[in-house]
Every structure is written in C-alpha cells, then in structure tokens.
Amino acid sequence: MREKILEQKKSVWVFILIIALSIFFETSVTTLPLIVGTFVLFAVILQRDWVFVAAFLSGLIFDILTLRTIGTTSIFLIVLIFTIFLYKNKFEIETIPFVFIACFFASFIFLITAGFSNLLLPAFIVSIFASVLFRLLSAPLRGKIR
Amino acid sequence: MPKRSFFPAFLVLIVLSGLFIVLSKTGILSVPADLITKIVSPLQRATFNLSSGGNKESKLSLENKALISKLTQMQKLLAENSALRDQFETSVPKSQNLLPASIVSAPSFVPGVTPAEYLTIDKGSSDGVKIGSAVVFKDNLVGKVTQVSNSLSKVILVSNSSSTFPAKTISIKGERGIGALGVVSGLSGQDLILDKVLLSDTLQVGDYVVTKGDLQVDNTGYPPSLIVGKIISVEKKASELFQRAKVKSLLEFSKLTTVFVVLGYE
C-alpha cells in the first residue's frame, strides 16, 4: 500500500514536470500550443477531477507570462477537459486517434483565439507530439494513479 | 469503478476563472502577476539566450547598420536644408528619450529557425512603457508595444502581418529629397511590403524605406525617419492604381537581445 502511494506521488511529479516544461517552453521559446496538447493527453490518461485544478492554475500562470487577460486560458483548458470527459461516456477515448483528433482541433481553436496566422502545421505537430507521449506514458501512468 | 461526476469541479473552476478575468480587467491582480513575472522572467531570458545560440550580431554587421543610419540622417538633413532655403518648411531635429530593454522571450514556430512572432521585453508600465510605444534598435524600427503589464511588455514586430504604418523612401544614390510615400505591411520573417505607392513616384531597388511618422500627443506611435528596411524588388504594372515593393528589414530579429523603447520626443 505504501509503495503504491509512493509510486502515485512519483507519477504526479512526472505530470507536474511535463506541465511546467510545456508552460515554460511555450511562453519563452516556441509558439506551438504545448499546454493544450499536454492537457488533452493527461485528461485522457488520468481522468481525475484534479486535472481541472491543474488546468486552472496552469492557465493562470500561462496568461500572466504571455500578458493575456488572466483567466482566459484557464477557461479554455477547463472547457476542453470537460468536453473530453463528456466524450468518455460515449466513446473509447484512450486511443491514439482520439488523442490526435482532440489535440488537433483544440490546438487549432487555441491558436485562432491567440491570434496566430500559422494554424494547421503547429496544430498537427502538437497532435503528433501528444500522440507519441500518449503511447509512451499511458500504460505506466494509468496503472499507478487510478 | 464508481462513476464520478466532474460537473461540480468544472462549474466551480469556470466561475473562478470568470472571477479572475473580471479581477484582471480591474487591475487588482497586477501585484501578484508582477511577482510571478519577476520570478520566472530571468529563467525565460536565460532560455531565450540559450535557444538563440548566442547568435549575436557581428561587429561588421553593427558597423554596417551604423553607416546606413548615418546615410539616412544625411539625406534627411539635406532635405531639411533644401526646405529651409526654399522656405517651404522647417523642422527641428529632435532627440528621442530611449529606454533600454532586454528581450525575455521571442517565441517562434521552430526556435532559432523560423522568425519570431513577437517579443517580450523586461520593461513595463512601471518603467513608463505604454501601449503603442515604438521599439527601436540603432535607428532601425523593431515594432510597437501592444500589451503592457507592470514589468513586461509585448512587442509586435514590423514584419508581423498585423503591422501596418505609413512610410516613405529615401534614395542613397545621391538624389535629394524624399521619395515615394506608401504604406508598409508585414509579411513574415524580415520581409515587408511597401504598398499604395503612386505610379508616378519612383521606386528603385536599393532605396531605403523610413517611417513617415505618426506620433501622438502621448508620445505613442512611430517617430519619423526610423529605418524600416531596404527595397529588394519593385512590382509596377501600368494597369494597376498603385505600385508596390518588397522590403527587407536590416535587422535579424531573432538575433536581437536588447532593444530600446521610445518613451518620448524632446
């Protein structure tokens, strides 16, 4: 039992680290919507309500660092995760095609709201990135956190 | 596994986000936001400097820019002398009040390869920066401030497709006077378009494009005679109302690490 709790804590730290890196790189180095891809990925893998809280806090920090109105990215991410959870009741969401399509459309809409002109290629690249990460992380993280 | 309802968490956080938006608009969140910015921006700057690979301007490139700046100033002085002699107009050379700012981040699609979409600098409203303030580097126009917080500002580059402003050409081939008037719009990278130039005006490859100037009373807007770029090709068709030219900025925006915000004109 104690070992299981320790494994869960390690997995949560992996989750936090990936989120932090996504925010950091997207606010300083690249315009790829990494934060969107990361939260689509973890909403699909973890399916826990604290993903909402993480999305809320991450969105606040992201807005502060990109000088947007604080709260707008949080609302976007929360609605995105809620939509994914709604789909959970209808479809099998823990599949690479679902992750790819959800990430693509979410990134596309996010880039439109952010005012970027280059939409398709960044959304496609982030979707590939999320799909690859899903393939690598889904089994290890799901077993430890759920 | 029992079925969980996520709706309460969703609802609470949506309401909280809405509350944060309202608080943000009233400026109440500026102090905590400023604190977070001050903690994170040194890391952002370090990451940006690493990702730009220490790709600084070479000494020769800097000297070249300084010479071009002197040439355009010389042309401007010649035009002013001519105007004074002809008693058409007078103008007083003005000095700019410049605030140096370090670039904290310059996100691009592929870092170090594709051009930056915008810049974030480490100066904000507490340093006197306003929305609409021009940003320059050695008499070359970089862009305009579009968003400001207490300690950071977002600068849209002149090469951004949403950037448009009036400009004029200056010939460096020994011809006096100001050349054609037109409107510059951003394309991408270092490229811009000088459009809406009358067919009767002369555009030549090699001419320099400078800002016409649209300073407002509060010192926002572009000061006049800032170098925008150099004409690299001209498109002129007798069947069209206007001619246009492709302009290349003299600055490689991805290599900049420090810029200057124009706070005022004295």
B140 pairs with which residues across the strands?
Answer: B137, B227
| Chain B residues near residue A107 by CB distance under 8 angstroms | none
Is residue A79 over pLDDT 80?
Answer: yes
Q: ipTM of the assembly?
A: 0.83
Q: Which residue of chain A is at minimal alpha-carbon distance from B42?
A: A28
Per-residue pLDDT averaged across A30-50, rounded?
90
Contact list in B for residue A69 (CB cut-off 8 A) is 21, 24-25
pLDDT at A141 over 80: no
Between B56 and B76, residue with greater pLDDT = B76
Is the pLDDT confidence value at B88 over 50? no
Q: Residue A11's pLDDT is what?
A: 74
Q: What percent of chain B has pLDDT over 70?
A: 83
Considering only CA atoms, which of B136, B135, B138 is closest in space to residue B63? B138
Residue A122 has its nearest CB partner, among B19, B104, B109, at: B109
Is B35 an interface residue toward A (CB < 8 Å)? Answer: no
* Region label for A18, one of left (φ > 0), alpha (ψ between -120 and 50) or beta (otherwise): alpha
Q: What is the distance in angstroms between the Cα of A15 and the nearest Cα belonging to chain B?
A: 20
Parallel/antiparallel/unpaired status of strands B191-198 and B178-188? antiparallel
CB contact under 8 A, A70 and B9: no
Q: Which of A53, A57, A50, A55 lies closest to A36, judged by CA?
A: A55
Rg of chain B over Cα atoms, rounded to whole angstroms, equals 22
- The CATH number of the domain covering residues in A2-145: 1.10.1760
Neighbours of B66 (CB within 10 A): 12
pLDDT at residue B63 in the model: 67
- The number of C-beta contacts closer than 8 angstroms across A and B is 111
- Give domain limits for chain A: 2-145
pLDDT, position B91 = 46
What pLDDT does residue B115 have?
A: 81
Looking at every residue in chain B, the average pLDDT score rounds to: 82
Can you give the pLDDT at residue B93? 44
Please compute the mean of the pLDDT values over residues B121-125 and round it to a whole number: 92
Q: Per mean pLDDT, which range of A102-111, B124-133, B249-258 is the poorest?
A: B249-258
Over 50: is that where the pLDDT of B184 sits?
yes
pLDDT above 50 for A133: yes
CB B153 within 8 A of CB B145: yes
Greatest CA separation found in chain B? 90
φ/ψ of B26, rounded to 5, equals -85, -10
Residue B140 touches chain A, beta carbons under 8 Å = no
The length of chain B, given as a count of residues: 266
The answer on pLDDT for A28 being more than 80 is yes
**B207-256 pLDDT, tens digit each:** 999 999 888 888 788 988 899 999 999 998 888 889 999 999 988 887 88
Q: Which pair of tokens denotes residue B15?
A: 């309401």
Q: For B48-75, how does the pLDDT look when each residue is reduced to its tens digit (9 = 90+)?
A: 777 665 555 566 667 677 777 777 777 7
| Cβ separation A72–B105 shorter than 8 A | no
